[in-house]
Every structure is written in structure tokens, then in C-alpha cells.
Amino acid sequence: MSATLYLVPNTLDLGSPDAPDLQEVLPLGAIRVAARLAHWVAENAKTTRAFLKRVDAVVPLAQPLQTIHIVELPRPAKGGKSAAPAALDDLLAPALQGHDLGLISEAGLPAVADPGAALVHAAHSHRIAVTPLSGPSSLMLALAASGLNGQSFAFVGYLPVDGQERAARIREIESTSRRLAQTQLIIETPYRNEALLGGLVATLQPATRLSVSCGLTLAGGWTRCDAVAAWKASPAALPKDVPAVFSLLAS
């Protein structure tokens, strides 16, 4: 029996009290697929159940939420190593038995800046069809809103927490951006947003353009793109509980 692994987009609001209506963020087609799936692999089972409750309010679930099978992705091992192939095969068991399977992240598109990529790779090795569904990606929305180079860009993930190591990494990223004329995208855990912004402003060259997108798709979401010199002259405060994406382009 043939089955499909659906990459189901999640909202970017992380269950915020002022979260927009689901249909304002996700296409109806994606919601309909989510409503009929009985098997899921999730970054977090609790938030996936909350997501399915929101789905049910738009398109009734094909079966009661309590009977939907949700398993969590294994946490990455030290060093960022992915789960063993055998563990991933276990997660794909429903699809191998002919049942469509959903993959979902806590926010945005699964398998993009997300550990779900390893499961997608395993699905391909088993010749399981993989279908991505349309939905928000914080990285792409932030890049589009920045006005920086959207023809050449790189996602560099998280930076070191240690101040000196972070500054060294920022200088390295800035050098790469200047050499390749390439936008560099960075994310951080929300409670460290201020520390990262401070490190970027203190380390980057004054003419480097820095963009911050905060609370994308939320009612109070915003994007500001300025030269680092302007950020220094007019600092901005960032919330500690709202995700942000940082983008830079050196000249």
C-alpha cells in the first residue's frame, strides 16, 4: 500500500493568547489534510494536540483527538547528531503499513531549521512519497520583509551563548556576507533576543545592514531594517517571549 508523509506547517504564534485565526495563517487545503490524518510525528506532542484542536474548529477531525496517534521526534544527541536510522524507521511504521503520516514542528515549516529533516531523509530512503504543504516559514517571511539580498542567502542557525565566542562568530558571518554579497539569517531562543541584538550591534561594522523581524504573523509583529550605526543611535527593545529572526548583509 502506498502512503504519503505530509509536511504540515504550523503557525508561528506558539499558542500566544493573541494568536490569529488559523485560516488567516494556513491555507484551507493544509488544514483539510491535517484534519484527516490519524498518525503524526511531532516535535512536541502537547503543542500538536493544541494545533489539532484549532484545526477541528475549522474542519472537523476525521476521528476523535484522543484516538489520534502522535509520537515525538527523538531529541538530537550531543554534537547535533540525528537519531539512529532504526529509530526513524520506527517513526515511519504507519507509513510503511500504508497509512498517511503527518510531520509537524512547533512552529513554521517542518524540516526547515528543524530536526524533522532526518525523518524526511529516511522517508525518501524507503520510497515513501513526501508532500510539503504551504504555510508560514519565519525565515522566508523575515528575508522577504528585510529588503536584503533575497537572491543569495544562508541560514546560520544559533550563535554561541558566550560573549567572546559569539563576537568571533559574528565577525566570521559578516566576513562571509561581505565576500559573497549574501544575506545571513540567524535565530535565537526568545529570552536571549536582547543579548543577541546587543552582540550584533556591538560587533558588526557601522555600514552593515541589520534586520530584525519579531512576532511575525502576530497582530503586533514588526520588521526593522537599518544600518548598524542607526541601531546604535536608536536602540530597540525586544520581548523575551516572542520569536525573532535576525538578518544581516555586509557591504
Q: Which three cell numbers stand for residue 30?
A: 493544509
Per-residue pLDDT tens for 82-114? 566 778 999 999 999 999 999 999 999 999 988
> Which domains are assigned to the chain?
4-132 (3.40.1010.10), 138-249 (3.30.950.10)
Closest CA to 125 of 99, 96, 104: 96
Please report, for residues 12, 40, 53, 184, 243, the alpha-carbon distance to residue 139 in angstroms, rounded to integers and kept in the order given. Answer: 11, 24, 26, 10, 11
pLDDT of residue 86: 74
Q: Please say if the pLDDT value at position 79 is more than 60.
A: no
DSSP code, position 139: H
CA distance 46 to 11: 15
Per-residue pLDDT tens for 135-183? 999 999 999 999 999 999 999 999 999 999 999 999 999 999 999 999 9
**Judging by beta carbons within 10 Å of its beta carbon (0-12, 13-18, 19+), is residue 175 exposed, middle or buried?**
exposed
In contact, 154 and 124? CB cutoff 8 Å: no
DSSP code, position 182: -
